[in-house]
Amino acid sequence: MVVSRSPPALGGSSPRIRVALLLLAWAAAPACGKPQQLNRIVGGADSADAEWPWVVSIQKNGTHHCAGSLLTDRWVVTAAHCFKDHLSTLSQFSVLLGVWQLGNPGLRSQTVGIARVQPHPVYSWREGTSGDIALVRLEHSIQFSERILPICLPDHTVHLPPHTDCWIAGWGSIRDGVPLPPPQTLQKLKVPIIDSEICSRLYWRGAGQEAITEDMLCAGYLEGERDACLGDSGGPLMCQVDGRWLLAGIISWGEGCAERNRPGVYISLTAHRSWIQRIVQGVQLRGHSEGSGPRKAPPRAS
């Protein structure tokens, strides 16, 4: 099915044809950031089946390697460092979609090869540097379902002040050196946004050696104990705005796992939104129409 073509004009067609075309359009490009709910990150908890239908497992030789987020039926976004030294060996990699438990992927999961990886041009392939983001083009379009849906990107109206509660999800280690045990159920963890100045001070390395660059944001707990860990790289930092889940950040780096005063560092999707839009056709943006606060009621007529 060619999903990028516009549907034929609806004028003059029968109601039955119009309904069929509308259903076809939804199947091709469902609304982003809206799970169709069915009835370990350090310190995290099991997620529900299909709770985060855009979270994918990027696999190397059939084993979980990194996480990523589905943007369209053909594109995934992840951390660039997941492909360090591997851009010429992409045949080793695949993307597993629609999976909740890695040990029990189920018949409705889909595995797709990777056609190409486009790292951000400013990324230097050194850990903890800016531009740690990559776009992954799948070998063929995937089929959306209640377990496989895209996430939204934040538009220019979205602002995430400190203490905003967001979520991360992944299949990474539950502690340093301790992998997620079978059946490897997708883990989730609520993490508040941390003020960028506080995070910059925590990771300060000396004059002229800023660790927290303009395209990074921090989230987590200063006391430690709860955090992303090895294997969670590339996964999403998700914030709910106006009833939709937006991809605010990508799990990039940190010092240790759940260490005190070492919160997780994420690459901001707001900082790289324009770059993504230039490459990925059909990515959906959402946000508030009037900044980050609740929408105001229209003025009453006098």
Catalytic residue ranges: 81, 132, 233
Cα angle value 77/78/80 (rounded, 5°): 120
Burial classification of residue 8, based on how many CB atoms lie within 10 Å of its CB (0-12 exposed, 13-18 middle, 19 or more buried): exposed
First to last CA, the chain: 53
Burial classification of residue 49, based on how many CB atoms lie within 10 Å of its CB (0-12 exposed, 13-18 middle, 19 or more buried): middle
Give the torsion sign (CA, 121, 79, 36, 189).
negative
> Which of 216, 211, 214 lies closest to 255 in space, CA to CA?
211
State the amino acid at position 105 in one-letter form.
P
- C-alpha torsion 115→121→127→128, nearest 10: -130
Please report, for the chain, how many H helices and E strands are present, in that order: 3, 15
> Which of 151, 235, 257 lies closest to 187 in space, CA to CA?
235
